[in-house]
Amino acid sequence: MDRVATRLNAVPQFTTAIDGLEVHFIHLRSPEPDAVPLILTHGWPGSVLEFLDLLGPLTDPVAHGGADPGDAFHVVVPSLPGYGFGGKPTEVGWGVERIADAWAKLMRRLGYERYVAQGGDWGAPVSIALAGRDPEHLAGLSLNYPLAPRRGAEEPTAEERADLDDLKRFRAEGMGYSTQQATRPQTVAYGLTDSPAAQCAWIVEKFAAWSDCDGNPEDSFSRDELLDNVMVYWLNATAASSARLYWESFGTAFAAVEEIATPTAYVAYPREIIRLSERLARTRFTDLRYYNRVERGGHFAALEVPEIFLAEVRAGARTLGLR
């Protein structure tokens, strides 16, 4: 882990107490004076490691590939409570809404009056919750994981039928992990904390199932990338504390909000669990400024297809009216 520690220690990391919990976050300011503040939120079983290679291109696009300086961001990457290097909640109540409140406090503490929230997996409902809880400061959403549509289409297209078939298959065959973590997180956590092999299998199976790799995760990620992410969970003993977010919020986080009027950019990756057509996305996101379906990538897009992820975050942000 010396290699990973060196990578992490090369970027500015901080902890701060918010609502009685120690919050760990990466914070890197852009040299561009008009850069847009951007908070990136990971999910399960991910971590802040997903975004490390993107920090340079996001904050200093001119120095990393000669991109437009107008595509620069001030970047904040927090660890979800109970995940990674931050504090572990010791009381009930650290669900999606409370995390969103903490993120809003964090961004104000850093001096950002207007910002964009980007997220996939748990990062999506946390970012969406910010739309309702911090609307005076949240300028836009950038999502690669949506909520389900508010209503179905009367005549679904072939594309929408394929999306729905994949979702039905996932609900029938792939939700055992979430049911366990949402109902008995502590039970499975004893085994995961005791056995590095169990923790590795519990996480890497999701990288195999949810990425664009035809079942072989090493076609999308290096072995080091897979093991580095597992070690963030293993060394910090976060099997229980990370799973508790399912217990706190799984039943409501992905369906609670009726409409989201915040300017939104949404990108559908072909191997994501939930994908929406543009017309179905608009049933929830009433100010959808940017929509795209890309040709490659899955649930861990920032790590799996970083060039596509970077291009899509930039393209979406340009439509949000921040410059």
Annotation marks residue 246 as catalytic? yes
Residue 299: active-site member: yes
Are 211 and 217 a contacting pair, CB within 8 Å?
A: yes
**What is the model's pLDDT at position 252?**
72
pLDDT digits (tens, 9 = 90+) for 265-279: 999 999 999 999 999
The pLDDT assigned to 255 comes to 58
Residues 6 or more apart in contact with residue 273 via CB below 8 angstroms: 145, 166, 167, 170, 174, 210, 299
Distance, CA of 130 to CA of 317 (rounded, Å): 17
Over the stretch 70-120, which tens digit does the pLDDT of each residue have?
999 999 999 999 999 999 999 999 999 999 999 999 999 999 999 999 999
The one catalytic residue among 83, 177, 246, 291 = 246
Say which amino acid occupies 206.
Answer: K
Whole-model pTM: value is 0.96
Q: Write out the CATH class of domain 2-150+252-318.
A: alpha beta
Count CB neighbours of 179 within 10 A: 11
Instruction: Return the domain boundaries, the chain.
Output: 2-150+252-318
Structure tokens at 109: 């503490």
Residues 236-295: tens digit of each pLDDT: 999 999 999 999 998 776 655 678 999 999 999 999 999 999 999 998 999 999 999 999
Selected catalytic residue, list 71, 121, 134, 163: 121
Mean pLDDT, all residues of the chain: 94
d(CA 34, CA 261): 25
pLDDT > 70? residue 66 = yes
Q: What is the pLDDT of residue 303?
A: 97
pLDDT at 181 over 80: yes
Q: What is the pLDDT of residue 259?
A: 87
Nearest to 118 by CA among 255, 294, 317, 260: 317
